[in-house]
C-alpha cells in the first residue's frame, strides 16, 4: 500500500474537470485507488465519488493505492494536484 | 462525515420532523455542540437535588417544572436559578408553549444558554427530539455502490468500477423502479435492526454513465423514478465472471453482507457479456420479498424432493 498526503491549492477546488483528470489518471492503473478527505473515502475511479467529496481549496487529501503500479499512480495524482491540474492538460489539437 | 450536531440545527431544516420551536433567550450559545443523544427532565435538580445532574444534555421543562418555577417567590427563584445556571447547561426547552419568565431569560442570556419554547406537549416533543438525535448520532458509512428501490426492496449494488452498476441501475429505472443513489451511498444504522440508505446531498439523483457523462435521473425520467431514502434490504454483489469459480446454483444457503455490524441478505451475481443483470436483480428482489413472507423456494423444493424420495423408497 502506498499513501501520500496533499493539500489542494487550486482556487476552484476539485470541480468536474479536475475530477475527471484524477479519474482518468487512476483508470490507467489496475490497482485500487482511494481518495480520502476527513475520513470519507472515495473511489478514485468514479467521477461521482470524487465530486461527492466536495474538495475545496485548502482541503487535505490522502491518496491511497494498493496493487500493481500503486507508487506510480499516487505520484501522478499528487503531482497533478500540486500543480493545480495544469501540466496534464494537453493543448487542444488543431485539425 | 463527522456526526456533529449543533444547538442551532434545531432551528434549521429538521426534515420531516417539525419541532415547532422558537428561540427566546441565549442566542450566543447557539453554536454549542450536542455530544450526547440523551435528554434530561430537571425537576429534581430545580428542587435542590444536584447529584447526577446531567447538565450536558438537553433540559426539558414540562408543565411540572414550569409550575414549580412559577410558585417560587422572586428571591427563592433567584437562588434556584443561580445554582442551576452555575453549571454549564447545554440548552433548555419549555414545552406546551410555556414562556419562561424574565428572570430565567436574563440568566440564560448572561450564561449563553439557548432557551427554546415549543408548541408541542412534553411527550410528543421528547419523542420527536429523540428521533432526530438518534438519526444524527447513528453510525454512518459511505460506500461505493448503487442504491435502488426494486419492487419495494432497497437493493444495494456493489462491485468494482466498470462492472456495470450504473448501467444496471439505468435499465432498472427504465423498467419503472426508483433510483436513490449512484457511486456514493450513505448508509446509516438508525436502529439496531434498520439500515437506511441515501445519496450524498451534493450529488442528488445524478449518475455517471460512461459514454454519456453525468445525467440527472430525476430530470430525464421524472419524479416517479427517484426517491430520497430507503431501507437497505438486499445487497447484490456484481462480479466479473471467473472461469471455473463455483457460483451458487441452488440458493439453499442464505448469504449475508456485513454492513455496520449488521448482516444484510446478499447474493453474488457473476457478470459477463450478454447476461441480463437487471432482470436478475428484479427477480432477486422479488425472491427476497417471498423470503420475508416465509417462502423459501429452494428449501421448499428440496423438502418436497426429499419427501418424494422417501415415499418412493418406502414403496420400493
Active site members of B: 144, 165, 183, 249
DSSP state for residue B8 in the 8-state scheme: G
Separation in Å, CA of A86 to nearest CA in chain B = 22
DSSP state for residue B46 in the 8-state scheme: H
Which stretches in chain B have pLDDT values below 50?
1-2
pLDDT at A92 over 60: no
Quote the crossing angle between the two packed helices B165-174 and B277-292, to the nearest 10°.
Answer: 70
- Better-predicted residue by pLDDT, A83 or A86: A83
Separation in Å, CA of A47 to nearest CA in chain B = 7
Chain B residues closer than 8 Å to A51 by CB: 202-203
DSSP state for residue B129 in the 8-state scheme: H
Is B200 in Cβ contact with A42 (below 8 Å)?
no
Task: Write the DSSP string, B239-260.
Answer: EE--TTPPPPSS--SPEEEEET
Contact in structure between B128 and B17 (CB atoms under 8 Å): yes
Separation in Å, CA of A38 to nearest CA in chain B = 7
Chain A residues closer than 8 Å to B142 by CB: 40-41
Q: Are strands B234-240 and B206-209 parallel, antiparallel or unpaired?
A: unpaired
Gap between the Cα atoms of B227 and B218, Å rounded: 9
Give me the mean pLDDT over the A19-45 stretch. 89
What the block records as the C-alpha cell of B101 is 419568565
> A8-17, A80-89, B38-47: which has the minimum mean pLDDT?
A80-89
Chain A residues closer than 8 Å to B144 by CB: 42-43, 46, 49
Is B182 in Cβ contact with A51 (below 8 Å)?
no
Give me the mean pLDDT over the A1-26 stretch. 90
Is A52 in Cβ contact with B202 (below 8 Å)?
yes
Chain A residues closer than 8 Å to B181 by CB: none
Is B144 in Cβ contact with A46 (below 8 Å)?
yes
Q: What confidence score (pLDDT) does residue B37 get?
A: 81
Q: What confidence score (pLDDT) does residue B241 get?
A: 85
**Across chain A, what does the average pLDDT equal?**
86
| Complex ipTM value | 0.74
Q: Which residue, B150, B120, B110, is CA-closest to B27?
A: B110
Is B208 in Cβ contact with A42 (below 8 Å)?
no
Q: What confidence score (pLDDT) does residue B242 get?
A: 84
Q: What confidence score (pLDDT) does residue B15 get?
A: 74
Interface of B with A in 184-223 (CB under 8 A): 184, 200, 202-203, 206-208, 214
Q: If you search the block for the grid coordinates 422572586, which residue do you land on?
A: B74
Which of B162, B202, B214 has the CB atom closest to A54's CB atom?
A: B202
Contact in structure between B133 and B9 (CB atoms under 8 Å): no
Q: Are strands A60-66 and A32-37 parallel, antiparallel or unpaired?
A: antiparallel
Q: Which residue, A75, A81, A46, is CA-closest to A61?
A: A81
Separation in Å, CA of B208 to nearest CA in chain A = 7
Which of B3, B139, B157, B161 to mutate to probe the A interface, most A CBs <10 Å? B161
Gap between the Cα atoms of B299 and B163, Å rounded: 31
Gap between the Cα atoms of B14 and A49, Å rounded: 26
Active site members of A: 15
What the block records as the C-alpha cell of B87 is 453549571
Give me the mean pLDDT over the A27-38 stretch. 90
Is B161 in Cβ contact with A46 (below 8 Å)?
yes
Is B161 in Cβ contact with A45 (below 8 Å)?
yes
Is B162 in Cβ contact with A45 (below 8 Å)?
yes
Q: Are strands B58-61 and B91-94 parallel, antiparallel or unpaired?
A: parallel
Q: What confidence score (pLDDT) does residue B210 get?
A: 85
B32 reaches A (C-beta below 8 A): no
User: How does residue A87 score in pLDDT terms, banded at 50, 70 and 90?
Assistant: low
pLDDT in tens, B151-186: 999 999 999 878 889 999 999 999 999 999 998 899
Contact in structure between B151 and B177 (CB atoms under 8 Å): yes
Amino acid at each position: 500500500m502506498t499513501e501520500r498526503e496533499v493539500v489542494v491549492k487550486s482556487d476552484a477546488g476539485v470541480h468536474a474537470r479536475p475530477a475527471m483528470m484524477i479519474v482518468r489518471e487512476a483508470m490507467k492503473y489496475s490497482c485500487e485507488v482511494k481518495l480520502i478527505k476527513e475520513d470519507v473515502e472515495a473511489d478514485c475511479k468514479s467521477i461521482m465519488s470524487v465530486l461527492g467529496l466536495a474538495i475545496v481549496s485548502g482541503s487535505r487529501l490522502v491518496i491511497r493505492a494498493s496493487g500493481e503500479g500503486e507508487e506510480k499512480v499516487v505520484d501522478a495524482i499528487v503531482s497533478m494536484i500540486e500543480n493545480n491540474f495544469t501540466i496534464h492538460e494537453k493543448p487542444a489539437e488543431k485539425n | 462525515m463527522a456526526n456533529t450536531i449543533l444547538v442551532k440545527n434545531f432551528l434549521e431544516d429538521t426534515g420531516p420532523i417539525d419541532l415547532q420551536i422558537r428561540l427566546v433567550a441565549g442566542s450566543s450559545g447557539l453554536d454549542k455542540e450536542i455530544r450526547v443523544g440523551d435528554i434530561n427532565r430537571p425537576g429534581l435538580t430545580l428542587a435542590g437535588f444536584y447529584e447526577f445532574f446531567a447538565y450536558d444534555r438537553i433540559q426539558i421543562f414540562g408543565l411540572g417544572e414550569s409550575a414549580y418555577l412559577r410558585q417560587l417567590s422572586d428571591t427563592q427563584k433567584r437562588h434556584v436559578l443561580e445554582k442551576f445556571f452555575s453549571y454549564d447547561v447545554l440548552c433548555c426547552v419549555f414545552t406546551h408553549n410555556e414562556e419562561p419568565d424574565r428572570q430565567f431569560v436574563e440568566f440564560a442570556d448572561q450564561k449563553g444558554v439557548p432557551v427554546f419554547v415549543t408548541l408541542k406537549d412534553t411527550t410528543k416533543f421528547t419523542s420527536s427530539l429523540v428521533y432526530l438525535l438518534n438519526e444524527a448520532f447513528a453510525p454512518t458509512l459511505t460506500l461505493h455502490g448503487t442504491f435502488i428501490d426494486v419492487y419495494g426492496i432497497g437493493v444495494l449494488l456493489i462491485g468494482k468500477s466498470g462492472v456495470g452498476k450504473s448501467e444496471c441501475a439505468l435499465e432498472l429505472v427504465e423498467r419503472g423502479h426508483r433510483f436513490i443513489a449512484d457511486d456514493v451511498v450513505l448508509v446509516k444504522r438508525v436502529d439496531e435492526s434498520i439500515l437506511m440508505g441515501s445519496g450524498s446531498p451534493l450529488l442528488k439523483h445524478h449518475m455517471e454513465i460512461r459514454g454519456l457523462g453525468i445525467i440527472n435521473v430525476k430530470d430525464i425520467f421524472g419524479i416517479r423514478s427517484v426517491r430520497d431514502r430507503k431501507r437497505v434490504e438486499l445487497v447484490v454483489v456484481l462480479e466479473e465472471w471467473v472461469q471455473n469459480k463455483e457460483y451458487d446454483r441452488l440458493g439453499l444457503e442464505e448469504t449475508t453482507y456485513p454492513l455496520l455490524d449488521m448482516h444484510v441478505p446478499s447474493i453474488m451475481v457473476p457478470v459477463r457479456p450478454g447476461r441480463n443483470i437487471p432482470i436478475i436483480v428484479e427477480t432477486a428482489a422479488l425472491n427476497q420479498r417471498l423470503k420475508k413472507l416465509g417462502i423459501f423456494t429452494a428449501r421448499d423444493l428440496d423438502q418436497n424432493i426429499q419427501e418424494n424420495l422417501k415415499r418412493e423408497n418406502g414403496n420400493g
